[in-house]
A and B are shown apart, each in its own frame.
Chain A
Amino acid sequence: NAGVTQTPKFRVLKTGQSMTLLCAQDMNHEYMYWYRQDPGMGLRLIHYSVGEGTTAKGEVPDGYNVSRLKKQNFLLGLESAAPSQTSVYFCASSYSRGARNQPQHFGDGTRLSIL
């Protein structure tokens, strides 16, 4: 049981390049999330998904797109990378049992630098 796995762990991009971050979970969780973490700003939600085939915007969605084609995978895309997107990106997943929210389990993060 690997939990939440993120790939890649590190990446350096040039401004304008595109890339996709992959998140995979093997816990059969319905909900999945993408966060970015910047110094002094905690974790901010980019996009999230409440189930296969569904996605929704979080607090800071601009410049990012996501897809949830399979329940176990949640992809985060940067179409045209900008230096402001330099950050550490965390994926998380959780169960949902009706109105009772459940703990989120995080991956190890992807450190992304945009030059």
Chain B
Amino acid sequence: GENVEQHPSTLSVQEGDSAVIKCTYSDSASNYFPWYKQELGKRPQLIIDIRSNVGEKKDQRIAVTLNKTAKHFSLHITETQPEDSAVYFCAAIFQKLVFGTGTRLLVSP
């Protein structure tokens, strides 16, 4: 079945640094790749997504890149702020959405 691997499981950065989270997927037919942010005790919320016909997408300090050949995609957060601290989940979908196991990002002031 479809599998999504996410790395690292935890990531600590200083405020203002960049953070990169990487995911790989197994089903080459996957065509939609959302990223979710989940704060402690809250619901997952969509922060950015990318479709298979696009290689990169940006939204202010957040960007996602997709390499279909290698079957991996990454989330890039620039100029990190303490409020970016949360768990981030990648996901890939063809028939059903499959989530990665999450990355706990801690941004220290």
Does the CB pair A109–B43 fall under 8 Å? yes
When distances are taken between beta carbons in the complex, the residues of chain A under 8 Å from B9 are 40
Does the CB pair B96–A58 fall under 8 Å? yes
Does the CB pair A101–B43 fall under 8 Å? no
User: Once bound together, how far apart are the Cα atoms of A109 and B66, in whole Å?
Assistant: 30
Per DSSP, are chain B's interface residues mostly helix, strand or loop, or mixed? strand
- Smallest Cβ-Cβ distance to B32: which chain A residue: A101
Does the CB pair B49–A99 fall under 8 Å? no
B89 within 8 A of A: yes
B65 within 8 A of A: no
B101 within 8 A of A: yes
- Smallest Cβ-Cβ distance to B94: which chain A residue: A101
Are A103 and B46 also in contact (CB < 8 A) when A33-B97, A45-B96, A58-B96 are?
Answer: yes
Interface size on A, residues (CB 8 A): 21
A54 within 8 A of B: no
A115 within 8 A of B: no
User: Once bound together, how far apart are the Cα atoms of A58 and B95, in whole Å?
Assistant: 11
Are A106 and B43 also in contact (CB < 8 A) when A33-B97, A45-B97 are?
Answer: yes
User: Once bound together, how far apart are the Cα atoms of A41 and B9, in whole Å?
Assistant: 11
CB under 8 Å from chain A, chain B span 47-103: 49, 51, 89, 93, 96-102
A43 within 8 A of B: yes
When distances are taken between beta carbons in the complex, the residues of chain A under 8 Å from B28 are none
User: Once bound together, how far apart are the Cα atoms of A90 and B97, in whole Å?
Assistant: 14
A26 within 8 A of B: no
Question: Which B residues contact A (CB, under 8 angstroms)?
Answer: 1, 6, 9, 31-32, 34, 42-46, 49, 51, 89, 93, 96-102
